């Protein structure tokens, strides 16, 4: 039956592309995906598959009960876009000013919808129950995964699988991990309040810019000099805002950045060291400061058994030439909440467009659409592998 399902997905490839390109032209940012959610709900309405709307926010969950006994397994796809101007030259580029699908979530949705359409035809012979989990707001913390879990919608789910069309991994390559797969991403904002003044009289001021640069420099030494060299963390300053004239010494500096980590104790150590550094520099310069540290998603940790099932499933997908375990990546994903709540695994489906090497969240981001059916085939193959194992 699995091969017949794969063949049917191949037949539906033009529809996958059509869905993906439609969604690509009409993106909606996190927590505002009402039209996209309605599009998904309408799709299931036409299929005659029971569904719920407004799950944990804008989430949509459809449930297909098979004709044979088995476990209940959720397959997840996210559907929010990003506040980025689409700059690529393509007939399906975004029609919404300042918003685009710059991470492949449109492809995730197209993959899961056409998989649902396929599995409806195989419902009588299907073991167990498939939960088609369409999640909103992956891109922006606190995200959509946690409120969906908190709603109780997944209480009866036995396992969960998900994939990301990964634009920096070649087509035909599947990547996953049997342990930590993606980092925990946090956000912080530091404000240094000094004392401004005339550019010609620095001794009468407390220069927020020079103090801010000391903070930037010292924060980098948390990773290089305060953490165990065998541990992993990233501290990045993405914004440094201060001053408004060439001859005026700034009285305030604002630093905004991100911390990425793989272990909770490292996260706590970074927070502690950051407080010491900013406080110490501020005291030394007789200035005041504030730190607003926002903890984001936890690290995404795959269950080893479910990750092994994904690697096994890849063997049944003709277009996958390589299925490999990789080291953790420092991007974040709120799929992490699912694997905290249920056994599960997440994996990358290679979707790099030949000659097009723009990364995720880039204004010219795009994917190899041939990866969309590969994602669907791998998800359903993992589903069957799970049913067989249990």
Of 80, 106, 158, 366, which is the active-site residue? 80
What phi, psi does 330 have (nearest 5°)?
-95, 10
For residue 161, what pLDDT band results from cuts at 50, 70 and 90? very high
What pLDDT, in 10s, does the model give residues 15-43?
A: 999 999 999 999 999 999 999 999 999 99
Q: Specify whether 177 is located in the same domain as 188.
A: no
**Which tokens go with 177?**
């991990």
Q: Specify whether 52 is located in the same domain as 159.
A: yes
Q: Which ranges constitute the DSSP H helices of the chain?
A: 2-11, 13-25, 34-47, 105-121, 145-150, 208-221, 264-284, 304-314, 336-341, 371-389
DSSP 49-95: --EEEEETTTEEEEEEE-SEEEEEEEEEEE--BBS-------TT--S
Mean pLDDT of 330-345: 98
Q: Specify whether 129 is located in the same domain as 12.
A: yes
For residue 147, what pLDDT band results from cuts at 50, 70 and 90? very high
Q: Where in the sequence is the domain holding 188, given as residue range(s)?
A: 184-294
Q: Specify whether 34 is located in the same domain as 81.
A: yes
Domain end (from 265, 294, 323) = 294
State the average pLDDT for the chain. Answer: 98
What pLDDT, in 10s, does the model give residues 100-120?
A: 999 999 999 999 999 999 999
Q: Specify whether 39 is located in the same domain as 168.
A: yes
What is the percentage of the chain residues whose pLDDT exceeds 90?
99
Predicted confidence (pLDDT) at residue 258 exceeds the cutoff of 90 = yes
What pLDDT, in 10s, does the model give residues 198-234?
A: 999 999 999 999 999 999 999 999 999 999 999 999 9
The angle, 0 to 180 degrees and rounded to 10, between the axes of the packed helices 2-11 and 13-25 is 50
Mean pLDDT of 290-300: 98
pLDDT at 233: 98
Specify the CATH number for the domain of residue 110.
Answer: 3.40.630.10
pLDDT at 341: 98
Distance, in Å, from the CA atom of 240 to the CA atom of 212, rounded to the nearest integer, reads: 8
For residue 264, what pLDDT band results from cuts at 50, 70 and 90? very high
Q: Specify whether 177 is located in the same domain as 303.
A: yes
pLDDT at 266: 98
Identify the three-state secondary structure at position 335.
coil
What phi, psi does 305 have (nearest 5°)?
-65, -45
Q: Specify whether 219 is located in the same domain as 275.
A: yes
How many other CB atoms are found less than 10 A from the CB of residue 90?
Answer: 12
Mean pLDDT of 68-97: 98
From the number of C-beta atoms within 10 Å of its C-beta (0-12, 13-18, 19+), residue 295 rates as middle
Mean pLDDT of 313-334: 97
Of 28, 33, 78, 138, which is the active-site residue? 138
Domain end (from 262, 294, 326) = 294
Instruction: Decide if 138 is catalytic.
Output: yes
- Answer yes or no: are the C-beta atoms of 153 and 55 closer than 8 Å: yes
Continuous segment of H or E residues that includes residue 249: strand 248-249
Domain end (from 228, 260, 294) = 294
Q: Specify whether 343 is located in the same domain as 223.
A: no
pLDDT at 332: 97
Q: Specify whether 20 is located in the same domain as 144.
A: yes
Pairing state of beta strands 288-294 and 252-261? Answer: unpaired
Instruction: Decide if 80 is catalytic.
Output: yes
Identify the three-state secondary structure at position 327.
coil
Residue partners of 57: CB distance under 8 A and separation at least 6 = 31, 136, 137, 144, 147, 148
What pLDDT, in 10s, does the model give residues 342-375?
A: 999 999 999 999 988 899 999 999 999 999 999 9
Specify the CATH number for the domain of residue 190.
Answer: 3.30.70.360
Q: Specify whether 119 is located in the same domain as 129.
A: yes
How many other CB atoms are found less than 10 A from the CB of residue 340?
Answer: 15
Q: Specify whether 376 is located in the same domain as 355.
A: yes
- How many domains does the chain fold into? 2
Q: Specify whether 283 is located in the same domain as 210.
A: yes
């Amino acid at each position: 039956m699995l091969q017949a399902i794969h063949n049917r997905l191949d037949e539906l490839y033009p529809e996958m592309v059509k869905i993906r390109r439609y969604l690509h032209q009409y993106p909606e940012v996190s927590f505002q995906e009402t039209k996209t959610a309605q599009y998904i709900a309408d799709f299931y309405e036409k299929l005659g598959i029971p569904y719920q709307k407004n799950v944990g926010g804008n989430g949509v969950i459809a449930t297909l009960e098979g004709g044979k006994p088995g476990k209940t397994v959720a397959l997840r796809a996210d559907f929010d876009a990003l506040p980025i101007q689409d700059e690529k030259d393509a007939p399906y580029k975004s029609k919404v000013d300042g918003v685009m699908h710059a991470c492949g979530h449109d492809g995730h949705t197209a993959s899961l919808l056409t998989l649902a359409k396929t599995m409806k035809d195989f419902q009588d012979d299907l073991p167990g129950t498939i939960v088609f989990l369409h999640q909103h707001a992956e891109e922006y913390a606190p995200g959509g995964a946690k409120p969906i879990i908190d709603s109780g919608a997944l209480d009866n789910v036995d396992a969960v699988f998900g994939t990301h069309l990964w634009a920096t991994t070649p087509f035909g390559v599947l990547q996953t991990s049997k342990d930590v797969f993606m980092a925990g991403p946090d956000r912080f904002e530091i404000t240094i309040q000094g004392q401004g003044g005339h550019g010609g009289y620095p001794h009468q001021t407390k220069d927020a810019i020079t103090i801010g640069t000391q903070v930037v420099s010292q924060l980098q030494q948390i990773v290089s000099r305060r953490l165990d060299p065998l541990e992993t963390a990233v501290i990045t300053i993405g914004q440094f805002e201060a001053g408004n004239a060439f001859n005026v010494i700034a009285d305030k500096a604002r630093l905004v950045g991100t911390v990425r980590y793989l272990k909770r104790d490292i996260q706590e150590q970074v927070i502690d060291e950051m407080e010491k550094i900013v406080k110490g520099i501020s005291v030394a310069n007789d200035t005041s400061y504030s730190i607003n540290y926002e903890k984001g998603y936890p690290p995404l940790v795959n269950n080893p058994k479910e990750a092994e099932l994904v690697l096994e499933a890849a063997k049944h997908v003709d277009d996958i030439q390589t299925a490999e375990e990789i080291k953790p990546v420092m991007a974040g994903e709120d799929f992490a909440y699912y694997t905290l709540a249920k056994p599960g695994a997440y994996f990358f489906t290679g979707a790099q467009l030949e000659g097009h090497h723009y990364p995720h969240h880039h204004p010219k981001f795009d994917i190899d659409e041939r990866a969309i059916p590969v994602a669907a085939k791998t998800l359903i193959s993992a589903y069957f592998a799970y049913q067989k194992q249990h």
